[in-house]
Amino acid sequence: MREVAHQALEWLAQGKPVAIATVVATWGSAPRGLGAKLALTPNQDLAGSVSGGCVEGAVIEAGLEVIAQQQPQRLRFGVSDETAFEKVGLACGGTIEVLVEPLHTTLAEAWRRALHEDRALATVMLLDGTPMGSCLALAEHGEVWFEHPALSPEARAAAHALAAETLAQRQPRSTTITAAGETRAVFVDFVPAQPQLIVIGAVHIAIALTALAKALGYRVTVIDPRAAFCNRERFPHADAVIVEHPRHALKRVALTSNTAVVTLTHDSKFDDPALQIALRSPAFYVGALGSRKTHAARRERLLRAGLTEAEVSRLHAPLGLDLGARTPEEIALAALAQIVATRNGKA
């Protein structure tokens, strides 16, 4: 979503009108999940997707109409038989609903602020009736950044409550709201803040891990006091390269619930201080490279340093999913797979 939003905002800045298509409901084997997006312009500049290709043509056609008429459209697709490749539909057998709406400047400004300030954002979309489309955008910490002027006070209160729940649960959802005796279908979109990966140790594995994490949209910081290893030439994909002991560097880097921390040096004088800080932080993932024997010794050191059993138990070690990884690139893949699984509640 963040990449689609970046591109859509760039097109608006160039004076191009934009339509946004969002997957607002799914059934069965849908190819994309809730909240998947496609942005397009009248010139058919495209960013993102809602189905991986099988219904994109019909969505683009609807998007061009939405731009011309400035009116949202709600679309439904679902094909499960052998004719799937002969007409518009989903070959996988699932069903999806897509809301296509013009990207108005007020909603675009909410997106711009969310990206610039790196804040999570929940957007409530009304799927039927009037008004239809995005009606309220709530940023984390409770700030309303967008509100449709035609929204009634009762509907506004219901939408605000739904957005707040979605920010807390960190998952998009399809549901309904009732206001003035009328029940409306709604979709609540969720755009998380950009995830952050802190890599302690500018080793060979870190090079591959940094490149993979950037490809998945992470902001990556590499920390190592050894300038010969920790430099821009070795880490061109990193957003920040800090040549400093982790004990000091981590005091200046915010560790939030969107942060993953990985220690790779195999050197306790670097790894242990970083782990003591990370395991006491809100970071959603903390992992350390090393064998089971190495981890057992590390665990005892961390407990002696004053960490609680619960804090030490947060540590993922040995690092990564068990993929039978051998090369630095495979180890990096295993580590990032575990980070993604943890962030998505699957590990």
In the chain, the amino acid numbered 22 is T
Burial of 165 (0-12, 13-18, 19+ CB in 10 A): middle
Q: Do residues 73 and 179 share a domain? A: no
Helical ranges in 72-224 per DSSP H: 105-117, 153-169, 204-215
Confidence of residue 80 (pLDDT cuts 50, 70, 90): very low
Which CATH number does the domain housing residue 296 bear? 3.40.50.720
Alpha-carbon gap, residue 164 to 190, rounded angstroms: 10
Burial of 142 (0-12, 13-18, 19+ CB in 10 A): exposed
Q: Do residues 174 and 207 share a domain? A: no
Domain of residue 162 covers 104-193
Q: What H or E segment, with its residue span, contains residue 9?
A: helix 2-13
Q: Do residues 88 and 123 share a domain? A: no
pLDDT at residue 84, rounded to an integer: 37
300-332 confidence digits (pLDDT tens): 999 999 999 999 999 999 999 999 999 999 999
pLDDT greater than 90 at residue 45: yes
259-278 confidence digits (pLDDT tens): 999 999 989 999 999 999 99
Average of per-residue pLDDT across 50-54: 77
Q: Do residues 119 and 246 share a domain? A: no
pLDDT at residue 1, rounded to an integer: 76
106-160 confidence digits (pLDDT tens): 999 999 999 999 899 999 999 998 889 999 999 988 899 999 998 889 999 999 9
Alpha-carbon gap, residue 311 to 309, rounded angstroms: 5
4-35 confidence digits (pLDDT tens): 999 999 999 999 999 999 999 988 766 678 99
Q: Do residues 185 and 205 share a domain? A: no
Q: Do residues 117 and 175 share a domain? A: yes
pLDDT greater than 70 at residue 167: yes
Query: Residue 116 pairs with which residues in a beta bridge?
Result: none
Average of per-residue pLDDT across 210-238: 96
Q: Do residues 207 and 329 share a domain? A: yes
Alpha-carbon gap, residue 307 to 275, rounded angstroms: 10
- Number of domains comprising the chain: 3
